[in-house]
Chain A
Amino acid sequence: MIEELTKDGAAQSVGAPMIEIRELHKWFGEFHVLQGIDLDVHRQERIVICGPSGSGKSTLIRCINRLEEHQKGRIVVDGIELTNNIKNIEKVRAEVGMVFQHFNLFPHLTILDNLTLGPLWVRKTPKKQAEEAAMHYLEKVHIAEQAKKYPGQLSGGQQQRVAIARSLCMNPKVMLFDEPTSALDPEMIKEVLDVMIDLAKEGMTMIVVTHEMGFARSVAHRVLFMDYGKIVEGNTPEEFFKKPKHERTKLFLSQILH
Chain B
Amino acid sequence: MNLFGMMEISASALGAERIRAEVVTSNLANAESTRTSEGGPYQRREVVFAAQRPSFALSLASAGPAARDAASTGVRVREVVNDPAPALVKYEPSHPDANADGYVAYPNVNPVSEMADLMGAARAYEMNVSAITAAKQMIQQSIEILK
B is a partner of A: no
A-side residues, CB < 8 A to B, are: none
B-side residues, CB < 8 A to A, are: none
